[in-house]
Structure 1
Amino acid sequence: MGGARRTRLYDVLDAAARDAPDAPALSVDGTTWTFRELRRRTDALSAHLAARCSSGARVALLAHNRPEYVAAYYGVPLDGRILVPLNQRLHPREWADQIVRSGAELAIGESDLLDRLAAEGEFPAGRPPLAAVEDIPWDAPATPHRETATDSGVAWLMFTSGTTGRPKGVRLTHKSLLAGIDVSASGRPVRPGDVFLTPFPLCHVAGYQVMLHHLYRRHAVVLRRFDAAALVEATRRHGVTSLSLAPTMLEDLLAHVEADPAAREALRSSLRVISYGSAPMPVPLLRRVGDVLGCDLNQGFGMTELSGNATFLSPADHRTAIASRPELAASAGRPGDGVEIAVIGADGTTPLPPGTLGEVVVKGAQVTPGYWDDPDATAEAFTAGGWFRTGDVGRIDADGYLYLVDRLKDVIITGGENVSSREVEDVLRAVPGVAEVAVIGLPDPRWGQSVCAVIVPDGAPPDGAELIAACRARLAGFKAPRRIEFADALPRTGTGKIRKSALRAQLSEGRPEGRPEGRPEGRPT
């Protein structure tokens, strides 16, 4: 986007409010704000905080999706303060832990959530003041002091989802978030007249996509939570052209519209593209999307530390996968503009040739400068050459497409052999009666780790021996699960990622809630 150089997140909103003040900027739960209204409320929040917090203060936000959340995206960092979004799905003790670790001077939130925080949160040195969202003077006239922010100033402090351990506080600067927006603009181009919808929790880094559309003066629609019927209605009401969904959400949406021809027509009449992430989708599901919804697909790979997505599998790539190159559907795509991707070896420095498995590393302006108050974790996260270590195992083919194989911490070492959990999951997912599966490694006194599969059945649980046999028919014997467990559902983050760390903890401590007794089967050979 042309115009003056942007140094603060607020510059995106300010430019849009000057160019298109009366255009719709944001709709949440039936409330629509224009760009002028969003800027006014952003300014009011900044002025309110200036009277309550010091410069550089961390301000925690505990709320469900609501329009004020987006005002906080821009308004908290406007005068150099730092927004600390808290995941409303966590336990109050976890909220308190993140407030304490961030050193937040104030927590803003919805009254019922703040009540839970006050009643159940643990604050060893005293709890900071709490401010109800409903009590903020959002409509007060305000001309806030606007300190000149530097590119390197921290705008958001976002805690990771904790899929591999205790959540870490990621420092996201104005520079990294603005770069993340620009990278996504190259991989997910915004077109004139686009209307974007997201059901993702705004406490996740996925919310940067709202600002991507504001950069182009486009309307962003946010659902309070994912609900297929509500999504269809919002699409009909606002003329949504672009969706962002997790694969599990997309499957639920397909099931809904396949049973409701009117809903299907409502989506087909305006929807142009669906963007997804968290996991690749098989070609049959890609075809089903095209047949049912008649729209394109775009995949993105990213993480909190990358301020959003870094690689993209374009609509053209998806069409190629369906028509002639099905293996491409398993790819995470190619880097966006300004992003460097490489794969390094076990020594942590040597770039590997195309097709070789190694750890995926990233360079670019969108990369975090490190973790909050954790120099050791920051040092571990970067190579000597300045590459950020994603913790993903993957390969890059001769055409530059990235293929993710597994998380480093999800690679299971059993009897001295490496097992990719994703490889085993792919086999089990094809067995009739398996709706979802997660494969993890559990401590084993003889083998170091043993392979365990947690299955969400589609109806009656399939026979454990058949599941083991299916793996042995396609994989080496040591890769077959020694233990099969069944569950009603898999624990997930708000963006749909399976929380394997939670599964490992549950199975180490006892039986996961809501599942029948597991049946240990088989042994590695």
Structure 2
Amino acid sequence: NVGWQAGDRWLLAMPLARVGGLSILTRCLAARATLVLAPRFDAAGLPGLIEHERITLASLVPTMLALTLDAHPGWVAPPYFRTLLLGGSAASPRLFARSRAARLPVVVTYGCTETCSQIVATPYEARFDAEPWGCGTVLPGAELRADGERLQVRGAMRMHGYLGEPALDPNAWFDTGDHGRIHPDGHVELFGRRHDLIVTGGENVYPAEVERVLEALPGIAAAAVFGVPDETWGQTVAAALVADGTPPPDATIVAHLAAHLARHKRPRAVVWVDALPVTAAGKPDRGALGARVGELRGLKA
């Protein structure tokens, strides 16, 4: 999809213990291409590193990209930087808009450890306007189908099986557990990862959908939506919010949510935080938000 060009240099700033980082190493080895290993991810130093090392390709998760753009307002990617692979979690419309302003060529990807990284990606030709493509189209060699909303995959890139369990049938479909839709034009829309799903009163809520709505409201820089155990509903929806300047009043948030989301999807309580917690891979750490449950307060219309 992305291909190789003379002089390509791929930045590895992700953990090698994760398949997203490991796959950068393996593809560079297979292509005999240059890999530039960053000692760690550093949002403040990333643009300088790209320019100093003349990086042409890099892989980040959305949180890493947002932190980099926060640290460098007005930064514009150099013309030789030709692809930013963006995956691991959902990117918001606001992040896409900021990427376009920075002239970043974004290729969105979707995959999982069991498929040795990506199986879906934005077409390279659409890298300056990736948002309409969802998480992309199925890459050559992979097959993807939706059983209801459950995405299933098969192909030579799929694992043989889990350690200590019987090997999988080579022709069997593997249930990713992730939820999404394959549109008639072939682009794939990811609703949410399996471990993120909130079930409230028997209804499914995908945090990424709610987060996109919240982050579209002026005054909210970032949002992380998570489930809170509830005896009546099983779970209720809550959100941790990062302010962009002056936080919007509760009434404004409630009205905005009511205009864009069904009732069961609307957060009932929120907590304002200085920054959202992230995992070692740079993804939103929803599990860590459970420690903030005691700080949640109900939204007042």
Q: 2:65 aligns with which of 250, 254, 263?
A: 250
Deviation at 1:332, TM superposition (A): 1.0
Runs of 4+ displaced beyond 6 Å = 382-385
The residue identity in structure 2 corresponding to 1:361 is: Q
The whole-number CA distance in structure 2 between the counterparts of 1:296 and 1:315 is 9
Instruction: Tell me how far apart the structure 2 counterparts of residues 449 and 287 of structure 1 sit (CA, whole Å).
Output: 33
Among 174, 179, 198, which residue is 2:12 paired with? 198
Query: Contact 2:154–2:173 at 8 Å: present in 1 too?
Result: yes
How far has the Cα of 1:197 moved from its partner? 0.9
Which segments of 5 or more consecutive residues in structure 1 lack a partner in the other structure?
1-186, 346-357, 512-516
Distance in 2 (CA, whole Å) between partners of 1:251 and 1:394 is 24
Q: Is the 8 A contact 1:332 1:403 kept in 2?
A: yes
More strand per residue: 2
Matched, 1:273 2:83: yes
> Which of these two proteins has the greater Rg computed from alpha carbons?
1
3-state DSSP of counterpart to 1:403:
strand
1:483 is aligned to 2:292: no
**Contact between 1:334 and 1:402, CA under 8 Å: does it hold in 2?**
yes
Could you tell me which amino acid in structure 2 is paired with residue 270 of structure 1? Y
Q: Distance in 1 between matches of 2:270 and 2:229?
A: 15
How many percent identity over aligned positions? 34
Q: State the shift of 1:340 in Å.
A: 0.8
Which residue does 1:338 correspond to in 2? 141
CA distance in 1, matches of 2:50, 2:199: 47
Counterparts of residues 82-121 of structure 1 (less than 5 Å): none
CA-atom RMSD in angstroms: 2.8
Structure (1 or 2) with the greater helix fraction = 1
CA deviation vs aligned residue, 1:255-300 (integer Å, no higher than 9, x gap): 444457xxx5xx51531222211234455644543443x4522111
- Where does 1:425-464 land on structure 2 (aligned, <5 Å)? 425-464=211-250
> Quick one: which of 199, 205, 214 aligns to 2:29?
214
Give the letter aligned to residue 132 of structure 2: E
Read off the aligned partner of 1:252 and give its amino acid letter: L
1: CA distance, partners of 2:143 / 2:54: 36
Aligned-partner residue type, residue 308 of structure 1 = S
CA distance in 1, matches of 2:179, 2:215: 21
Count of residues paired in the alignment: 300
> CA 1:439 to 1:212, structure 2 compared with 1: closer, same or farther past 3 Å?
same
1:372 pairs with 2:192: no
Relative to the length of structure 2, the TM-score reads 0.87
Distance in 2, matches of 1:408 and 1:497, equals: 14
1:379-458 matched pairs, under 5 angstroms: 386-458=172-244
Q: Distance in 2 between matches of 1:492 and 1:284?
A: 19
Deviation at 1:384, TM superposition (A): 11
Give the Cα separation in 1 of the matches to 2:195 and 2:42: 32
Structure 2 vs 1, CA of residues 480 and 283 (structure 1 numbering), >3 Å: closer, same or farther? closer
CA distance change for structure 1 residues 287 and 458 in 2, over 3 Å: closer, same or farther? closer
In structure 2, what residue type is equivalent to 1:340? Answer: E
Cα distance in 2, alignment partners of residues 241 and 485 from structure 1: 39
Counterpart residue identity of residue 336, structure 1? L
Deviation at 1:488, TM superposition (A): 2.6
- Does structure 2 retain, via aligned residues, the 8 Å contact 1:383–1:389? no
Per-residue displacement from partner, 1:119-155 (whole Å, max 9, x unpaired)?
xxxxxxxxxxxxxxxxxxxxxxxxxxxxxxxxxxxxx
Q: How does 1:297-316 map to 2 (within 5 A)?
A: 297-316=106-125
Question: What secondary structure does 1:268 align onto?
Answer: coil
User: Which residues of 2 match residues 467-506 of structure 1 at below 5 A?
Assistant: 467-504=253-290, 506=291
- 8 A contact 1:464–1:519 mirrored in 2: no
Amino acid at match of 2:135: A
The question of whether the paired residues in 1 share the 8 Å contact of 2:240 and 2:273 is answered with: yes
Q: Deviations over 1:494-519 (max 9, x none)?
A: 33221223324x25xx54xxxxx321
Partners of 2:275 and 2:208 lie apart in 1 by: 18
> Which residue pairs with 2:296 in the alignment?
518
In structure 2, do the counterparts of structure 1 residues 520 and 257 end up closer, same or farther at CA, with 3 Å as the change threshold? closer
Contact 1:456 1:487 in 2 (8 A): yes
Shift of 1:308: 1.2
- Residues 475, 238 of structure 1: alpha-carbon distance in 2 compared, 3 angstrom cutoff: closer
Take 2:205 and 2:51, find their aligned partners in 1: how far apart are those partners?
46
Change (3 A) 1:281 1:397: same
- 1:86 matched to which residue of 2? none
Deviation string for 1:87-111 (max 9, x for gaps)?
A: xxxxxxxxxxxxxxxxxxxxxxxxx
Task: Give the whole-Å Cα distance in 2 for the aligned partners of 1:202 and 1:391.
Answer: 24
Contact (CA 8 Å) 1:275, 1:297: kept in 2 or not? yes
